[in-house]
Every structure is written in structure tokens, then in C-alpha cells.
């Protein structure tokens, strides 16, 4: 019932000029809360709220908070490549050290 009461006055619409209008804030008890500050999966979060009215938020430049941006994906990809390189170098160093020890032991057996 409380949700119906809140949504009764909350409207999302696109005007004749193609501008999206929506309530950026909502009343939570005695507090006014920014929709953007709500949890990503909260139904009243900006993206989810606009989507619930059948409007595509992406069309108006509002990204899905559950999806990572291209720059975030590139950063993650770079971080993973660096980590793979580090692990490869560590592994090669260990293999090299192990090989050197084996060669050293073999040489000691020969002499």
C-alpha cells in the first residue's frame, strides 16, 4: 500500500522535446534519499525506477548499474594481464632456480 501511495505522485515521462523527467529523490520515512545512492538492485534506484515505467534509461544516458562500463572492463582486462605476467615471471623464475639447482647437483655428482 505504501508503494502505491509513493508512486501515485511519482511520475516518469518524456516531454515533447525528448527530455526525460523523473523524481531524482524519494522520501524514505523522515529522510529524503537520492535514487542514485540506493543499492543497484533496489527497485527505486534511478535506473530500475525509470525502467519500471517502460522507458529505456540507456536512451537518455543512464547506464545500467549492474553492468560495467567499457572503461571498467578495459581496466579489469589490463589488471588481469599484468597479474598473468607477474605470475608467469614468478613461475619462470622458480623453474629457472629449480633447473639451476638440478644442474648444480648433477655437476657435483660428476666431480
Query: What is the average pLDDT across 37-58?
Result: 92
Same domain, 51 and 86: no
> Measured between alpha carbons, how far is 25 from 41 in angstroms, rounded to an integer?
17
Same domain, 6 and 56: yes
- Average per-residue pLDDT for the chain: 84
Domains in the chain, number = 2
pLDDT (0 to 100) of residue 91? 86
Same domain, 15 and 40: yes
| Predicted model pTM | 0.53
Cα 55 versus chain centre, distance: 22
| Enclosing domain of residue 94 | 69-111
- What's the angle, vertex CA 12, arms to CA 64 and CA 37, rounded to 5? 45
Same domain, 54 and 92: no
pLDDT (0 to 100) of residue 44? 92
- The model's pLDDT over 75-89, given as tens digits with 9 standing for 90+, comes to 889 999 999 999 888
Same domain, 97 and 80: yes
Same domain, 53 and 79: no
Same domain, 45 and 84: no
pLDDT (0 to 100) of residue 4? 36
pLDDT (0 to 100) of residue 10? 54
Amino acid at each position: 500500500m505504501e508503494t502505491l501511495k509513493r508512486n501515485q505522485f511519482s511520475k516518469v515521462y518524456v516531454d515533447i522535446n525528448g527530455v526525460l523527467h523523473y523524481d531524482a529523490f524519494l522520501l524514505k520515512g523522515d529522510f529524503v534519499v537520492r535514487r542514485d545512492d540506493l543499492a543497484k538492485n533496489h527497485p527505486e534506484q534511478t535506473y530500475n525506477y525509470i525502467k519500471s515505467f517502460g522507458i529505456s534509461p540507456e536512451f537518455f544516458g543512464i547506464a545500467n548499474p549492474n553492468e560495467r562500463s567499457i572503461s571498467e572492463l578495459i581496466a579489469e582486462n589490463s589488471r588481469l594481464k599484468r597479474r598473468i605476467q607477474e605470475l608467469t615471471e614468478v613461475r619462470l623464475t622458480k623453474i629457472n632456480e629449480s633447473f639451476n639447482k638440478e644442474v648444480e647437483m648433477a655437476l657435483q655428482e660428476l666431480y
